[in-house]
């Protein structure tokens, strides 16, 4: 029997990169996964990968910042699988500038996707978790649930050019620690994972100007090659982490082995 048989997991931003690896690893351990991406094609790809490996998954496409998104993803889980056991708040992006050049639109957009959207999802799931926990207690059961919020070392240590992102990721750590105290009585472990340098499309080493479009805004991606090289020199393992390795840090908090671990921040940095 896989360790997460019968569990239902929600993973935002799971059409690509780290989120996709989290979804695949959860499914490999038996979880039924609600996959989310801003775009339909990446979400469908992750669902198909899970199904081709014998797992169960369904997509909930759209922006986590939409006012109705939290209800839609929670309803998707309940309508298809009837429960929620794991929530991984992973969706996000960066939109950098030094403070004197950053607009309020930039600041608000990043706060919305990295802090308010996870808060909305957790708030929407709260009553379901409370009711399910009460039912389980009446049946003499204790079912552990897990929340993993994806932070960043930008939030735990700061990073130039990211007052918006660092602020949101730091606040997400505070949200995680507080919710671990509020939801302990519901047998929910709430933790945060802060990534260092991980190989994704947002951190690709490039000296060319590359942009993606998010919610109608052009957002720069990629990091200058000399900066990536300098960062790797400060990492004891001497390299960036892979998305699969990053997902491994998330999985540690989702498995039964961490059923008494809550309110913690795990930095996944290669020793940086």
3: in domain: no
225: in domain: no
216: in domain: no
- The total of structural domains in the chain comes to 1
Looking at residue 154, what is its pLDDT?
97
From first to last of its 272 residues, the chain has per-residue pLDDT tens of 899 999 999 999 999 999 999 999 999 999 999 999 999 999 999 999 999 999 999 999 999 999 999 999 999 999 999 999 999 999 999 999 999 999 999 999 999 999 999 999 999 999 999 999 999 999 999 999 999 999 999 999 999 999 999 999 999 999 999 999 999 999 999 999 999 999 987 777 666 766 666 767 767 676 788 888 888 999 999 999 999 999 999 999 999 999 999 999 999 999 98
Give the active site residue among 81, 93, 165, 186. Answer: 165
218: in domain: no
223: in domain: no
203: in domain: no
46: in domain: yes
Active site residue 165: yes
DSSP per residue, 228-265: HHHHHHTSTTSSPBPHHHHHHHHHHHHSGGGTT--S-E
| pTM of the predicted protein model | 0.93
224: in domain: no
Backbone angles phi, psi at 30, to 5 degrees: 105, -5
Assign residue 184 the CATH number of its domain.
Answer: 3.40.50.720
Backbone conformation region of residue 168, classed left if phi is above 0, alpha if psi is from -120 to 50, else beta:
alpha
Range of the domain at 23: 8-197+241-268
């Amino acid at each position: 029997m896989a360790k997460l048989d019968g569990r239902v997991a929600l993973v935002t931003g799971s059409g690509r990169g780290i989120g996709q690896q989290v979804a695949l690893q959860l499914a490999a351990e038996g979880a039924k996964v609600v996959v989310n991406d801003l775009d339909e094609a990446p979400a469908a790809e992750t669902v198909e990968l899970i199904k081709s490996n014998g797992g169960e998954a369904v997509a909930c496409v759209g922006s986590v910042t939409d006012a109705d998104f939290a209800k839609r993803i929670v309803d998707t889980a309940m309508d298809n699988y009837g429960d929620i056991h794991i929530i991984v708040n992973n969706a996000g992006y960066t939109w950098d500038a030094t403070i004197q050049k950053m607009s309020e639109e930039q600041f608000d957009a990043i706060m919305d996707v990295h802090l308010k959207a996870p808060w909305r999802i957790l708030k929407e799931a709260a009553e379901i978790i409370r009711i399910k926990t009460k039912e389980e207690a009446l049946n003499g059961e204790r079912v552990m649930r897990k929340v993993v919020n994806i932070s960043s070392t930008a939030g735990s240590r700061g990073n130039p050019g990211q007052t918006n992102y660092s602020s949101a990721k730091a606040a997400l750590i505070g949200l995680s620690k507080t919710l671990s105290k509020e939801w302990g009585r519901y047998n929910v472990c709430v933790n945060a994972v802060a990534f260092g340098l991980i190989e994704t499309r947002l951190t690709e080493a490039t000296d060319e100007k590359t942009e993606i479009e998010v919610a109608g805004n052009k957002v720069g991606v990629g990091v200058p090659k000399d900066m990536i090289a300098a960062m790797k020199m400060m990492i004891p393992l001497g390299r960036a982490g892979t998305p699969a390795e990053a997902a491994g840090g998330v999985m540690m908090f989702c498995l039964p082995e961490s059923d008494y671990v809550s309110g913690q921040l795990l930095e996944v940095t290669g020793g940086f």
